[in-house]
Chain A
Amino acid sequence: MRVRGARVPEARQSAADALRAQDAWRAAACLAVDPPGLGGAVLRTDLGEATEAWLAALAGALPAGEGLRRLPPHIDDERLLGGTDLAATLRAGRPVHARGLLEECARGFLVLPMAERAEPQLAARLGAALDQRRVQVARDGQQREFATGFALVALDGGRASDEQCVPRLRERLALHVDLAGLRADAPPALTTHELEAARALLPTIAAGDGALQALCATALACGIATLRAPLLALRVARTHAALEGRDALAEEDLAFAARLVLAPRATVDPAAQAAEPEPGQQPPEQPPDSPEDPPDDQPPEPRDPGEVAKLEDSVQAAAQAVIPKDLLERLAAAELARARSGTAGRAGANVLAKRRGRPAGVRAGRPGAGTRLNLLATLRCAAPWQRLRGGQGTRVRVLPDDFRVTCYRQKKQTVTVFAIDASGSSALHRLAEAKGAVELLLAGCYVRRDEVAVIAFRGRQAELVLPPTRSLVRVKRSLAGLPGGGGTPMASALDLAARLIQQVAKRGQTPTLVLLTDGHANVARDGTGGRARAEADAIAAAKAVRLLGARTLLIDTAPRPQPQSQQLAELLVARYLALPHADARRVAEAVRLAG
């Protein structure tokens, strides 16, 4: 792949792969030793044989009777947390509860395929169970709590960079293993005896201050904010040491943890950071600690500072060696993916679920035609009348009037897609105002739970700056450094808008397009200049957008209203609005009225 300018020679590259493979199998062994402690693993996978072999290696290390259970990503609360056993309830004439998957699999492993598409609701429930090691159920007449010791293996089949396992799970699963492209040559599985020995050794392994400092410092150098990362790294290092039969942490254990826990979570390349230390990177001054004198805060025993620094360096080097060189691009792509998955389900798998909406209470009515009987509510309705109806024994007499169905609230959400012309001289001013308008709109409409997306176009082509979101925090962040200037690739912008509008409509939301521009298309679809082609392309693209039938508003921000813009508005069947000095509040107002 790398032909010229490759940093790693061919031989070293395969050495890196060999290390990656060795780490991957080692990770399976670690997870088998301490499943609840490590929480589980995220497998970056191309779903090849290596993945099957890895899971088999894990399953092989489990005691008989405990296996891997698949957790389908579209599982509902009833199956996940527990619900009502329909048949048994009717037979017994009293509520009988059915256990959910989290209770059935209280030990052992759950395998979550397509973790990159998991719904936030599912990820939140799994995350809470992993955190507390207990699950609380308060649904459908059940009120109980049970302990659970499962570990989760999330299969992240997202392609190269734009899709990733949901952050909530990435955060809590210690080991991040990259299996893509590896061969399925698993080393012999650990024997029960070896596993038992490692488990017995595990609680006795001490972590020195030096080891702790090395992990914390490396995490910080890699730009990892969360404190779960160093904590999980410490546990992984300990498990690794236990497998090696050591009773203290060695440099090797810490390096392993750095490679599998810290490096995959890096948001900064420490190598790049070390090259140019900025004053801003210095830790800010901390407020003085609490006045009370906690028992474990004696000054650490004197140790050789040189030695600690050496350990720190070697752990950091271990992490650095496996941080991909294109980290920054990957992160940018992941951020986009995160934005997409954070708000609502992706197109495809969960369109159906989305159409049903979230459960929103119960009402009287016949089941069928897409509504589902709520058995408990129905029985509750029938219960008070049993004596009058002359029910005998355990048989419950239910009349059609008792039927209750669960209603789902499906709010038609609006997604406002802003396509902002960031070209030319007035770009900066327009951008600032458009940005303001987006934020104002979002602040105004979060009651209705609407979303906003932003496309910016300048230079050679249009770019999706902000995927549909309703998070004000994310809007601020992604709009902060939007550049301006250059040509006007109108066709590209309209194409992108059309794609986005289609996606939005597919998810069952209502799209609205707001186009802010002050002039002529002068960059064609292929990114070349030339007004005539550019305009022809723009006209074709506009027709395609019109076919989608989305509400459209064109705001002309030129000092004088432009005939081209009016024409474009006609083509789009858009409302045309000339706002020469478009200020944020007027734009927001116009959009609100148009909606």
Chain B
Amino acid sequence: MRSVFPFSAIVGQDELRLALLAAAVDPALGGVLVLGDRGTGKSTAVRALAALLPPMKVIVGCRYHCDPALPGQWCEECRARPATPRPKSAELPVPVVDLPLGATEDRVLGALNLEQALSAGVRAFEPGLLAQANRGFLYVDEVNLLEDHLVDLLIDVAASGVNVVEREGLSVRHPARFVLVGSGNPEEGELRPQLLDRFGLSVEIRTPQDIAQRIQIVRRRDDFERDPAAFVAQWQPQEAALRAQIIAGRKRLPKVRVDDAALEWSARLCMRAGTDGLRGELTMVRAARALAAFHGRTKVGRAELLQVAPAALRHRLRRDPLDEGGSSLRIERAVAERDAADAGAGGARA
């Protein structure tokens, strides 16, 4: 197997790492969008996450890797199988599927298996990338260069979690629940708002300007390229620890409490920042909960909310291009105002 740069060896880029880890702990978060300049290590981080994820249990022989523990989410084939004997299960690495540029619709959605149809006259479905990505991650690099008709497909499937194929005499539906991860350079064009909204978290990254940090990044990258195997082995303990933390976080996730104060705090923040709809609030609370679980806490506090607020809200602000500061600044401002209000209230109570 090809060596991948270890996630724990990434220097800086705290917001990006947090967002990806939160999505790893709670895949229902709705995906991560990474926007940044060239040479900031966007794809490095996403590909590193793939190697970090703990393996998942799947039903042997299922093309959509259904989870044996969740019959409610099974595909039609798994449902049609007799209940006894219980289906065999196996462990597989979590799929991180690339949606390459130039992909065509038939390979994304899946299509009639031509070879079987021609040689045996059988009408069989050949699953596409969306099937491969079920229960895993779908990574779209250069997401703003994606062709419009593919964007439409993605929006639809990402929203419903089901891929419906009605073509070439086929009628197939299969589960396609995946974490959508996109990256791109905002200078190369804007993203469709509908697609933007599908991403739970949105992260803006830039290159560090600190010379020591830059040297460290170049050094590690160089070490990795010169001897990938040794470098990966050297970081193995850190990777294992991080993986264990993700597993522990997933276990803890259902037990993490979000009290009314936290809900109210985020609702007020969203109102002040002027976000569209409720999705921002929901994602913010959800991401904060994932982060709390990851850090071993049982309750969502202000610290977690503050950490995820920019990523959860940045891309959901009502667009006001006349505001020079950009969306990150607007959220910071809203947070500061929120804090000031809290301090005032706290003072009055004391």
Contacts and interface: CB of A to CB of B under 8 A. Distances in A.
B329 to A, nearest CB: 13
Contact of A383 (B39, B112, B129, B141): B112
Nearest to A288: B14
Contact of B38 (A139, A168, A219, A287): A168
Tell me whether chain A's interface is mostly helix, strand or loop, or mixed. helix
A471 B102 contact: no
Given A386-B121, A443-B321, A473-B187, A138 B38 contact: no
B264 interface: no
Interface in B294-339: 319, 321-322, 324
A531 interface: no
Contacts of A167: 38
Contacts of A124: 101, 142, 145
A174 B179 CA distance: 34
A33 to B, nearest CB: 15
**Residue of A215, A376, A383 contacting most chain B CB atoms (<10 Å):** A383
A138 B100 contact: yes
A140 B105 CA distance: 8
B104 A138 contact: yes
A171 B207 CA distance: 14
A415 interface: no
Contact of B106 (A37, A234, A376): A376
B107 A141 contact: yes
A139 B9 contact: no
Contact of B218 (A77, A231, A439): A231
Interface in A439-455: 439-440, 442-443, 446-447
A379 B114 CA distance: 7
B88 interface: no
Given A228-B38, A384-B117, A217 B211 contact: yes
B187 A471 contact: yes
B141 A128 contact: yes
A227 B321 contact: no
Contacts of A121: 101-102, 145
B166 interface: no
A258 interface: no
A234 B8 contact: no
A231 B40 CA distance: 12
Contact of B39 (A220, A229, A584): A229
Contact of A95 (B40, B115, B234): B115
A328 interface: no
**Residue of B41, B102, B104, B218 contacting most chain A CB atoms (<10 Å):** B102
B171 interface: no
Contacts of A105: none
Interface in A401-450: 409, 436, 439-440, 442-443, 446-447
A120 B111 CA distance: 29
Interface string B87-124: 00000000000111111111110011011011101010
A66 interface: no
Interface stretch (B62-70, B75-83, B219-227, B270-278): B219-227
A220 B145 contact: no
Contacts of A370: none
A361 interface: yes
B118 A94 contact: yes
Contacts of B225: 37
Contact of B213 (A286, A358, A446): A286
A143 interface: yes
A380 B209 contact: no
A161 interface: no
B210 A286 contact: yes
B211 A220 contact: yes
B12 interface: yes
B259 interface: no
Contact of A137 (B100, B123, B226, B241): B100
Contacts of A134: 2
Contacts of B260: none
Closest 4 CB pairs of A and B: A226-B39, A383-B117, A439-B321, A138-B107
